[in-house]
């Protein structure tokens, strides 16, 4: 039924009036005629329609991002804004080791935990620095690395030195002297904490001295285990175990620091690195808070010098464009050997 404003006509017969009126009343009720519908043009600018009269907008694409204002008033119950939608966001906790340089207009997404309640804070840096009190101890990416020496010692010392007298090294590295002459490189370099040292006697045999160090920015994906063994007997004299190559926090130059035993006399020694699978098995067999090298010396005394094993690439701990830098081939003089059970 369509609306017709021309009916009833001014001279319409009275007998026809009821039917014609009912036809227009039906059109008003059905609102099928455009002239009777409420359009945008018919709504007055002063109408002030209450929110209770408006339905919730749920269709995707109905609201432009340019129309959003007062984001600081978004209620907590609305959920977290995805960091992928924030063009200038840097997730600080996940990028501490990626050497990214923040800009003054960056946003920092800080993950924190307080009183057992996980929370996230979004903070404008202003000067490109990580906001104060935003990184907790639990969020620091850290691990431990250790070195050991099997033999008689009279003293142990650890220090940071520049321009070591061997191999033309010019970066700050952290060597440890055991007995004053046996040089081993600690994994943490100048980023390591105070070194813990212990000695385990094994009478009537020489004992084993261990030096363990916790250090930050440990990003290695593989366990590195270096051994310095007697070239004739295969007896393990020195050892290194850490999640990073010894060059990682000691200047980063693998060619200059290919192993942690720089400065030792190699006339009767051989440098050995454990294969990836054997190193991981050693790690799995170590208790959660135990020492990998303590496990090593308890289970193994020497390596098998009779055969060379195949080397599988290991991660140095370094990254380039967020991609892990791998050691694809061992330098000359470093061998892959199997451990021999005691």
Q: What is the pLDDT of residues 224-264, one digit of tens each?
A: 999 999 999 999 999 999 988 988 888 788 888 899 988 77
Note the pLDDT tens digit of each residue in 123-161.
444 444 566 666 665 666 778 888 888 877 665 554 434
Residues 6+ apart with CB under 8 A from 205: none
Q: What is the CA radius of gyration of the chain?
A: 37
Q: What is the dihedral of CA 304, 310, 314, 320, to 10 degrees?
A: 140
How many independent structural domains does the chain possess? 2
**C-alpha dist (Å) from residue 335 to 150, 275, 307, 314:** 20, 10, 10, 14
Question: Whole domain around residue 87: which residue ranges?
Answer: 80-138
Q: What is the mean pLDDT of residues 51-55?
A: 87
Whether residue 204 is found in the same domain as residue 283? yes
**pLDDT grade, residue 102 (50/70/90)?**
low
**Other CB atoms within 10 Å distance of the CB of residue 150:** 20
**Would you say residue 110 lies in a domain?**
yes
**Would you say residue 72 lies in a domain?**
no
Cis upstream peptide for 204 (omega within 30°): yes
242/264 Cα distance (integer angstroms):
20
Whether residue 170 is found in the same domain as residue 186? yes
Which of 284, 90, 262 lies closest to 184, judged by CA? 262
Cα 124 to its chain centre, rounded Å, is: 21
Whether residue 232 is found in the same domain as residue 313? yes
**Would you say residue 11 lies in a domain?**
no
Whether residue 122 is found in the same domain as residue 198? no
> How is residue 80 written in tokens?
């977290």
52/66 Cα distance (integer angstroms):
25
3-class secondary-structure state, position 75: coil
Identify the pLDDT of residue 156.
56
Identify the pLDDT of residue 23.
81
**pLDDT grade, residue 162 (50/70/90)?**
very low
Whether residue 159 is found in the same domain as residue 247? yes
**pTM (2 d.p.):** 0.57
CB 155 within 8 A of CB 197: no
Whether residue 249 is found in the same domain as residue 114? no
């Amino acid at each position: 039924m369509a609306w017709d404003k021309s009916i009833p006509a001014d001279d319409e017969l009275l007998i026809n009036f009821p039917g014609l009126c009912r036809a227009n009343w039906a059109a008003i009720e059905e609102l099928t005629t455009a002239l009777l519908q409420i359009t945008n043009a018919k709504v007055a600018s002063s109408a002030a329609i209450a929110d209770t009269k408006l339905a919730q907008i749920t269709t995707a694409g109905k609201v432009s991002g340019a129309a959003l204002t007062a984001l600081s008033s978004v209620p907590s119950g609305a959920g977290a804004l995805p960091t992928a939608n924030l063009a200038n966001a840097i997730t600080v906790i996940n990028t501490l080791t990626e050497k990214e340089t923040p800009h003054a207009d960056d946003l920092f997404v800080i993950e924190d935990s307080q009183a057992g309640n996980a929370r996230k804070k979004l903070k404008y840096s202003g000067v490109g620095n990580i906001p104060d009190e935003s990184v907790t101890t639990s969020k620091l990416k850290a691990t431990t690395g250790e070195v050991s020496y099997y033999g008689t010692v009279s003293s142990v010392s650890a220090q940071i030195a520049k321009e070591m007298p061997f191999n033309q090294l010019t970066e700050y590295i952290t060597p440890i002297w055991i007995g004053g002459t046996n040089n081993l490189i600690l994994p943490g370099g100048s980023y390591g904490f105070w070194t813990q040292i212990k000695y385990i006697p094994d009478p009537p045999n020489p004992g084993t001295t261990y030096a363990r160090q916790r250090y930050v920015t440990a990003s290695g994906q593989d366990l590195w285990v270096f051994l310095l063994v007697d070239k004739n007997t295969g007896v393990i004299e020195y050892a290194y175990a850490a999640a990073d190559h010894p060059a990682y926090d000691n200047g980063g130059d693998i060619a200059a620091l290919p192993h942690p035993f720089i400065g030792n006399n190699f006339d009767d020694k051989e440098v050995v690195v454990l294969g990836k699978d054997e190193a991981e098995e050693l790690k799995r067999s170590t208790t959660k808070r135990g020492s990998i090298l303590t496990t090593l010396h308890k289970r193994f005394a020497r390596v098998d010098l009779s055969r060379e094993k195949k080397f599988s690439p290991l991660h140095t701990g370094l990254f380039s464009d967020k991609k892990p830098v791998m050691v694809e081939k061992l330098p000359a003089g470093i061998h892959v050997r199997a451990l021999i059970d005691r």
